[in-house]
Amino acid sequence: MEQQPQVRRFTWQGIEIEATYRPCLWGGVIAHLEINSIQPPRAPLPITETGYRSHFHPCGTVEANGGDVVAQVMAWLDEEATKPDWQRYVENSRQGVLF
């Protein structure tokens, strides 16, 4: 049985994000997480250059890790934000790249 989606809004590093989590789709075969940057619209995130990410994963994955969708998305963002590509993006955003 498909469950109602859980929609959560939160702020990460000044970006308002909406996460929509569907714990069971297609008869319990798969779970789905959608992440959108809301404000500023389509702001890049360390997990997506477009501000939107669709992520399919096995049912029960979020629940096995404590069940807190926001905490898990924030941990994912924090982990990816340590990578050189994101660090370069942040630095270039501060200075404004001319070339």
Angle between helices 69-81 and 84-95 (to 10 degrees): 80
Collect all residues with Cβ–Cβ distance below 8 Å to 1 and sequence separation of at least 6.
24, 28
Domain limits of the chain?
6-95
CB 23 within 8 A of CB 62: yes
Q: Phi first, then psi: what are they for 93, rounded to 5°?
A: -65, -35
pLDDT tens digits, residue range 20-42?
999 888 777 899 999 999 999 99
Confidence band (pLDDT; 50, 70, 90) for 4?
confident
